[in-house]
Amino acid sequence: MLEGINPLLTGELLLHLDRMGHSDAVVIADAHFPAWAIGARVIDLPGTTTPEVLAAVRSVVPLDDAPALDLMASADGEVLDVQRELAAAAGVDDPRYVDRFEYYELAKTAYVIVRTGETRTYGNALLRKGVVGYPAA
């Protein structure tokens, strides 16, 4: 256990987040997402929700320039509660909404996929890592 680190950020997840470079993506996926079929690196965090995990990831990962956050668009284009929660957890006012099959293609390029226990549909977020700033010496 590390002080000041969200307990949802396991050692394995922190390792992958640290290894990500600028513009690399992490997918925070719901329980329905085909993570193991399309991901080279998958971490399972059952019993969690996508907004919880996204907020934890954002506590250590800065945002890339736009688009920093892609959300899977619902079939009817309606913005769902879980999508609002994801945008808030990421601290993004204007996420990009991506068609389901285009989203799967984007997810295939992600550095890591974190599959949660989220059961709400369209509860998926792709976050791009920005440049980590360091305090001046």
User: Tokens 């369209």 — which residue?
Assistant: 122
Domain that holds residue 85: 11-128
Q: Is residue 5 part of a domain?
A: no
42-45 and 112-116 beta bridge pairing: parallel
| Residue 36 reports pLDDT greater than 70 | yes
- Active-site residue, selected from the candidate residues 19, 22, 84, 108: 22
Q: Are 125 and 28 in contact (CB under 8 A)?
A: yes
Mind listing the pLDDT tens digit for each residue in 6-32?
Answer: 999 999 999 999 999 999 999 999 999
Q: Is residue 133 part of a domain?
A: no
Cβ-based burial of 104 (10 A; exposed 0-12, middle 13-18, buried ≥19): middle
| Residue 81 reports pLDDT greater than 70 | yes
Q: Is residue 54 part of a domain?
A: yes
Q: Give me the residues paired with residue 50 across strands.
A: none
| Total domains in the fold of the chain | 1
Q: Is residue 65 part of a domain?
A: yes
Local confidence band at 115 (pLDDT 50, 70, 90 cut-offs): very high
Residue 135 phi/psi, 5° resolution? Answer: -65, 145
Q: Which of 14, 112, 124, 102 is nearest to 61 (CA)?
A: 14
Q: Which of 16, 6, 23 is nearest to 109 (CA)?
A: 23
**Cis amide prior to 135 (ω within 30 degrees):** no
State the pTM of this model. 0.94
Q: Is residue 72 part of a domain?
A: yes
Q: Is residue 92 part of a domain?
A: yes
For residue 70, CA distances in Å to 39, 87, 93 come to 17, 9, 12
Q: Is residue 44 part of a domain?
A: yes
Q: Is residue 134 part of a domain?
A: no
Residue 16 is among the residues annotated as catalytic for this protein? no
The crossing angle, in degrees rounded to 10, of helices 50-58 and 81-90 is 10
The CATH number of whichever domain residue 121 belongs to comes to: 3.40.1650.10
